[in-house]
Amino acid sequence: MKIKNPATNKVFAELEECNLQELDNQLVVLRKGQKKWSQLTVENRLDCILKFGDLIQQNKEELAAIMTSETGKPLQQSLNEITGAQNRVDHLKANAEKWLADEILVDFGPTHEKIVYEPLGVIANISAWNFPYNVGYNVFLYALVAGNAVLYKPSEYASLTGKQFEKYLYQAGIPKDVFICVIGDGTLGQQLLELDFDGYFFTGSYATGQKIAKTVAPKLVPLQLELGGKDPLFVTEDVPDVQLAAVNAAEGAFYNNGQSCCAVERIYVSEIIYEAFVDALVKEVNSYVQGDPTNLKTFLGPLTRESQLAVLENQVSDALEKGAVLKTGGKVVDCDGYYFQPTVLVDCNHDMKVMKEESFGPIIGIQKVKSDAEAIALMQDTEYGLTAAIFTANENRAMQVLQQMNTGTVYWNCCDRVSPNIPWSGRNNSGLGSTLSSQGIRAFVQPKSYHLRA
Ligand code: NDP
């Protein structure tokens, strides 16, 4: 596999791809390894995960440079992601033993009842490129601690990073027959679905997630899907500081070039502050430094995938044809890398693709609203259900709106964030199942109920 740098469109590395025969063998190897691994205590397994976390933090400069070279993520944001992902390790350290312990429910009289949490077995983890540390850790660390073996297929756009995970997991003491990283593109991913894993954990687009669900369904094994979003933000007229609201909204929309599953993808603004909010947001967006992702001052690098440039161009032209006004940006940058100008479209409506289809790029559509009821109806006019946010000074008002959102996560006066303490889950086209929190670890175990009579 040839690895290209999205900032230059030049191949800078090559990796050997895995073939189907090798995949078959790897599953056999992992099955044997998992049996031994599951017999260790949670504490023993956790020790390896803690060492892995330390190794990643000790080598973060080099690892951030690798991630930046293959995904185009600005170096500062690569460093932020690696530093931030450690919170998953810390959270497992504090909670894994408690969550995986046997639960004694009845311990008096002749019958005793308890639940034992057993690992699923060997799981397949097909992952995305946009936050490889965050979305990778959410699955393979939790799975390993729970006693599973993992076959990890990184996205072809984050393959070098996937190989680094493997290297440092082995250095941390995870046996080579318990975690294997396979290199390949979507075709390999498809082949992997033909094999009999004990669970499939996928992060990626709705289109691929749906294909995977159809293929895996007859196997009747756990399937978890963390998919895309079209996440709305509602800015009310009572925000104490319109400029600050605009700065925060812009960061939610443009961080990592908008290539985040929970990026703000559409904004509804009360008509009373509409003009002021738009002016402040455009000013903020125009202040972003776009360019070489290895420069620590760069906020916007290239997109990871060249093909997304055409998607964004199409959303802009569609919106303009239907009456939107372009406030800034709107074009592919004329250079070798995959750069798109940060783009703000205003006076948008729901006939436009930019308000309905996932953009996954540095582009935001803004629509004026007259009331909370109108905002709620528009926010809910989507096939996705990942997150929804509101900026308002009034907590009751926020709760009124957020309770009506059919999404896995809601935000009041914040957006575009994930915490290991609480579940991460999508509804409708945004996915199935939860990662993180106690629920995220229970996703990798199956309960066995014991009825015991002494
Ligand atoms: P894709 O769906 O294109 O790819 C995801 C993974 O699936 C990759 O490893 C890909 O391999 C693989 N794949 C592609 N085709 C198949 C197939 N037919 N069978 C099996 N595997 C296949 O998504 P992206 O990588 O483009 O990721 C972006 C998407 O992920 C966005 O929609 C984003 O919102 C979502 N996402 C959701 C998150 C969440 O937590 N809800 C978090 C992060 C991203 P390859 O790349 O090698 O072709």
Same domain, yes or no, for 403 and 441? no
Same domain, yes or no, for 167 and 37? yes
Same domain, yes or no, for 203 and 284? no
By residue count, the chain amounts to 454
Same domain, yes or no, for 147 and 235? no
Same domain, yes or no, for 235 and 281? yes
Same domain, yes or no, for 244 and 376? yes
Percent helix, percent strand, percent coil in the chain, to nearest 5: 45, 20, 35
Structural domain total, the chain:
2
Same domain, yes or no, for 14 and 120? yes
Same domain, yes or no, for 433 and 396? no
Q: Nearest C-alpha to atom 46 of ligand 1 is from which residue?
A: 155
Report how far residue 140's alpha carbon sits from residue 278's, in angstroms, rounded to the nearest whole number. Answer: 41
Task: Write out residues with Cβ below 6 Å of ligand 1.
Answer: 126-131, 135, 153, 155-157, 185-186, 189-190, 193, 203-205, 208, 211-212, 226-229, 261, 358, 360, 386, 424, 426, 431
Same domain, yes or no, for 176 and 214? yes
- What number is the average pLDDT over the span 128-152? 98
Indicate which CATH number applies to the domain containing 74.
3.40.605.10
Please tell me the predicted confidence (pLDDT) of residue 454: 82
> pLDDT of 197-227, one tens digit each?
999 999 999 999 999 999 999 999 999 999 9
Residue 321: pLDDT band by 50, 70, 90 thresholds?
Answer: very high
Say yes or no to pLDDT of 425 above 90. Answer: yes
pTM of the model: 0.96
Q: Nearest C-alpha to atom 13 of ligand 1 is from which residue?
A: 186
- Helices of type H across 103-157: 132-136, 142-145
- What number is the average pLDDT over the span 446-451? 98
Same domain, yes or no, for 56 and 145? yes
> pLDDT of 69-86, one tens digit each?
999 999 999 999 999 999
Report how far residue 439's alpha carbon sits from residue 138's, in angstroms, rounded to the nearest whole number. Answer: 11
How wide is the angle at C-alpha 384 spanned by C-alphas 247 and 288, nearest 5°? 20
Instruction: Tell me the residue range of the domain where 152 lies.
Output: 2-227+427-453
Same domain, yes or no, for 128 and 258? no
Same domain, yes or no, for 242 and 183? no
The radius of gyration of the chain's CA atoms, rounded to the nearest angstrom, is 23
Report how far residue 375's alpha carbon sits from residue 217's, in angstroms, rounded to the nearest whole number. Answer: 37
Q: Nearest C-alpha to atom 24 of ligand 1 is from which residue?
A: 204
